Amino acid sequence: MILNEGLRRLGTPYTFRSSPKDAAVLYNCEIVVTCVECLRFLSVSSDNVIGLTRQIKTSSSFFSICCKTPTQMVLSTSNDIRNVKMISVDGVETDFQQVEFPKKTYKLGDSLSAYVQSKNTLVLTDRLAHTVYMYDTVKGMSRAVTNGNIQAPHEVPVQHMCA
C-alpha cells in the first residue's frame, strides 16, 4: 500500500495470495516482489492504484532481492546450494561466475544477500554462523567477516532502487 506523509493510505493496495518476502523498486512506478517460486511485477498508477503487470515463475524459492542493474536483479535463495542468483527482468536466471559461495544450503531467512552497485560487491549473510561474506564480483575475491559484534546478521542495508 502507499501512504502519504500523514501515514494515511492512498489509492488501492495490492493483495497477495501468498506472503511476499522482499521487494525492490525497478523504476519510479514499477516494483518487483519475491514470492514462493515466482517474481511479481507491480505498477503504481498516477492515482496510486497498485496492480499486477506480470509474473515470472522461477526455478528456486527466492527471499531477498536487490538490483544489480536496471534490468538485472540479485536474489538470495532458500533450499538451493547456489546461495545467490541473478535474474533479468525477462526471467533469465544466471549464476555468479567469479564467486565461490559457502557449500551450504540455507533455509528461508537464514541468509540474505544484497548487491552494492558502486563497489561491484555482493554481500551475503549467514545468520547461524554469525558471518557476513563480501565478494568482489569483478576480481572474484572474497572476505568473510566474523567477530563478536556480528550476532545472527539478518538484514543487509543496501538501497533497493535500480533506476
What sign does the dihedral 99-105-106-107 (CA atoms) show? positive
pTM for the structure as a whole = 0.81
pLDDT tens for residues 48-107?
899 999 999 998 888 889 888 888 999 988 888 888 999 999 999 998 887 888 888 888
CATH 3.40.50.300 fits 2-145, yes or no: no
Q: Are 151 and 115 in contact (CB under 8 A)?
A: no
Is pLDDT of 138 > 60? yes
pLDDT tens for residues 19-50?
898 898 887 789 999 988 899 999 988 898 99
